[in-house]
Amino acid sequence: MVAGSSIQPRLITTFLGDCRFLPSNSAHSLHRLIRFNPGKDHVSMKMSRTLSGFSNLFNRRNTENFTDSKRKQLKPGKVSPARSVPSNIVKPPYVRSRKAPGIANEPQVHDEKGIECMRASGKLAAQVLQYAGTLVKPGITTDEIDQAVHQMIIDNGAYPSPLGYGGFPKSVCTSVNECICHGIPDSRILEDGDIINIDVTVYLNGYHGDTSATYFVGEVDEEARNLVKVTKECLDKAISICAPGVEFNKIGKTIHDHADKHHYGVVQEFVGHGVGRVFHSDPVILHYRNNDSGRMVLNQTFTIEPMLTIGSIDPVMWNDNWTVVTADGSLSAQFEHTLLITQNGVEILTQC
């Protein structure tokens, strides 16, 4: 998932609830994070790690900006109550505190036991996502997908990481059409021609596994199909360059170069992140060209999760303080994997 920012220097990650506090000595100072131009109808952030009062600076969606005449504009549905989790299932610390956790400064680097735990959580996340994908069809609601995902996760003795993270009310993120990320499952019925990203994170034996994919709902037009195809290619190409000692900024260049070839935009406000014992940690993984420092190290785990758009890359947040959509209503797609840096290169932990 991705992160965001607040008046106190807080940031956003792919789970807009990926909330973390920036250290006071961080190079990512507030003026670097925020770009606001008077007269524009949005605020944009260079990066993201938390959800907070700063989210109120996002202009709420202006229906006049919706440009896609082929689809209905995405609108909020009814959100059902949060689902219960058996008391015997171990919950992440942020669930007990009911507060968004601060950002973890240290990268997630594991010993052999930790690696095995990461493999287990990653495998379960992948299996849950694969199952969720089989449910995607015209006529199903995103709330029904959430119910199925929730049940499969707890049936396997794990906790659905999004549930209760900074107040997020559901167990999975479902982002339809122009939704960039952090869509809340609700009563909206999926329609023929939609695309939907399903973002699954599980907390198993004290470790998080995080993954997402974008699926077609029924018969999807060529424009949407190509966006989804290229977004997946961007992730695959970025993964292929990962290995010990590789600079993280090469991820952003690889993704941005491929997106440019197909004339797609790369969302910059939402980022990948370290993942392991904590949901979000350093390093911040930028999906666009950048000069940030830092190199991959052996036994480190993190996510790559590019979000591409057909039109505007500018995000607009709904009044629920979670759902983020493109400013012009154009389609957005995303794919994500949790990765482990190995001696031979990289291992994808979130695949079946």
pLDDT given for residue 322 in this prediction: 95
Residue with tokens 């190079």: 27
pLDDT given for residue 180 in this prediction: 98
Do residues 309 and 228 touch, judged by C-beta distance below 8 A?
no
pLDDT (average), residues 25-40:
31
pTM of the model: 0.87
Does residue 60 register a pLDDT over 70? Answer: no
Give Cα separations from 67 to 62, 178, 295, 325 (angstroms).
11, 11, 41, 13
Residues in the chain, total: 352
| Angle at the Cα of 213 from the Cα atoms of 208 and 214, rounded to 5 degrees | 150
Gap between the terminal Cα atoms of the chain: 20
Rounded CA-CA distance 17/23 in Å is 18
Query: Minimum mean pLDDT among 64-78, 281-295, 300-314: which range?
Result: 64-78
DSSP classification of residue 190: P
Helix (H) or strand (E) holding 134: helix 112-135
Rounded CA-CA distance 335/333 in Å is 7
- Reported as a single tens digit per residue, the pLDDT across 292-322 is 999 999 999 999 999 999 999 999 999 999 9
Q: What percent of the chain has pLDDT over 70?
A: 80
